[in-house]
Amino acid sequence: MKSYFLKSAITVLLLSGMVPHALALDNPKADELFKQLEDGQVNNVAEVEQTLDQIAQLLAKDDLDRQARLRRARCWSFDANDNANIDAAIDYAVNQAQAAENQAYPEALTDFRLCHGWYSQLKGNMEQAKADYDQALQQAYQLEDHRLIADARSLRGAMYSFQGNFAMALEDLLTAQQLYEKLKLDYWGLYNLADLATSFRRFGDPQSALNYYRQLEQAYRQSGHEEQAYIINGEMAIALEELGDFEGAVAKFQQSYDYLKQQGVTVEAAGVSVNMAGSLLKLGRVEDAKQALERARPFVTEQMGGFYSFMQLYSADVLLRQGQAEQAMAPLIKAEKSFRNINNDRGLAELYLLKSEVFAAQGLWQESLKVLRLYIALHHELDNKLQSYRTTEMRTRFNADRMAKENQRLLESERLKEQEVQILQQNRLLQLAVLVLASIIIIITAVMAFKQTSKSRKFQKIAHTDHLTQLANRRYTYHKGEAMFNQARDSGTPFSLVLFDADNFKDINDQFGHDGGDKVLQHLASLSQTLIREQDLLGRIGGEEFLLLLPETAHEECLKIAERLRQTIAESRPEGLVGEPRVTISAGVATLGEELQFSELLKQADDALYCAKKRGRNRVETA
């Protein structure tokens, strides 16, 4: 679960689209203070308040542009951890938006709408937040203000990600990332990259997310932002949890909690404690989980939808495990209401499963069955959405050219606006200097376009590839599998696939550590690559699991390939590990028959793989 409170009032303040305009009055000291806010150099609440007060003292009453800019900054400075302050911020945004509209300050009006949407989101009013973000984004495009576009897409993308709309989230976050990089807003680029990494985790690729988180943690520590580094440390813990490393997750959570508690950041520390309770429950440490929840309870309010809903869910789980099934219903009711308010279907699915167990523990079998059916229906719906998102996400993920052209157009428009302001302020005698400046801008634009093209190509290659094994990653493998399946079905040619994974991989990790496990996965990948044909595709689709796509391959030939793969791996030994342990695989084989969907064929292979595991491992089974 990704907390919306990771961006505290100070972090949100700097997400306002305050691009400096040419001002009639010369006030370099105030401009420098504004720049410190925008660049993230001021990064705690007390310093923000002090900086805003300093700016207010420096501004003349008739300095209308800077006064408007100061009011925009004020909107983002309300304490996001206090309900009364959130309500006050919403009222302030409404009043200031009306004033900005009357005074013809369209950039300020757009920023106040973003501010209103953010605080509405903190209140759990997701529909209002989305409406504000959509309207602000439309206005930002009309203004051709790419800082405001980046902020609106970043905020809306993070909300989409939390709600499970991964395709829309990635489109927003990728666009925002490119704009932040072009604007050289490194600090906010890192924040947006954190949301992008979290989207990959929620999409089902925690390993890629973990790699991004490690880069972010290092970047924050190098820049002296320790609090943000420990917040990212908490995100790494969630990724580890989804990879099944619950002990590692608890250790990471504990590090973040201890630091935030020591720094007096109680609300964020409480959120980490809620997340840690989930990992502790998966380890069966019920009493420790209960203590973690009790530490968080005084600070997590109903308005904190994400943390509150999971705190109630985990509380119900603790009561059930302690034999108090009847008492578990009260927190379940609160959790269900909160999940519905924030449109979190992923959390709601977890709740239905636990609620079914609670009813069953009370002997209420009909109610248990009814809720279990709700869980199955919702889980099936989420699976279908995820399958649909894979195709959309791939199209979004690799549509870098379209986004690059759109962003380039915004940059060129912004430069033209800056030139217009400069020309109005220049004497006619400076026309020659303006022409020279225009020539320089054209050269800069060409250089930036070249750099962006190179970066987009590199980004596309990274998006296809699994970081550890250098094989195709899950999204690309599924994308190619869908295409091969559809072609084979339409043309009547054979198509088969082999789903395999390493046997007893957890034991390998336990014996040799995660580095040893990584070497085994790299060994499997490199050896398997030498055994496949040019038209085949081998991809790593998660953990120790691999998928081999075999176009124009009938069932008998597929079985031979799978058996040869199994035997070759069984006879090999991974290098670099003490004792050179024997590694084996189990494989499931499936061939296109009457199936209408690629997912159905993949399910057959998965069932065959399960059968191979059940029958003793180190074998090949067919669907």
φ, ψ at 541 (rounded to 5°): -110, 5
Question: Which of 155, 443, 364 minimizes the C-alpha distance to 147?
Answer: 155
Interatomic CA distance for residues 157 and 389, integer angstroms:
15
Using DSSP bridges, classify how beta strands 620-622 and 585-591 pair: parallel, antiparallel or unpaired.
parallel
Does residue 502 contact residue 521 with C-beta atoms inside 8 Å?
A: yes
Interatomic CA distance for residues 303 and 539, integer angstroms:
43
Question: Which of 311, 334, 320 minimizes the C-alpha distance to 368?
Answer: 320
Q: Provide the sign of the torsion angle of the four alpha carbons 476, 482, 483, 484, taken in this order.
A: positive
Does residue 210 contact residue 239 with C-beta atoms inside 8 Å?
A: yes
Using DSSP bridges, classify how beta strands 537-542 and 545-551 pair: parallel, antiparallel or unpaired.
antiparallel
- Structure tokens belonging to residue 559: 């079985």
Does residue 15 contact residue 151 with C-beta atoms inside 8 Å?
A: yes
Interatomic CA distance for residues 578 and 512, integer angstroms:
8
Query: For the chain, how far is it from start to end, CA to CA, in angstroms?
Result: 36
Given 544, 557, 595, 621, which residue is catalytic?
A: 544
Q: Is 544 a catalytic residue?
A: yes
- Structure tokens belonging to residue 307: 């943390």
Give the other-Cβ count within 10 Å of 560's Cβ: 12
Query: Which positions ≥6 away from 260 have C-beta within 8 Å?
Result: 227, 230, 231, 266, 268, 269, 272
Question: Which of 286, 264, 268 minimizes the C-alpha distance to 277?
Answer: 286
Active site residues: 544
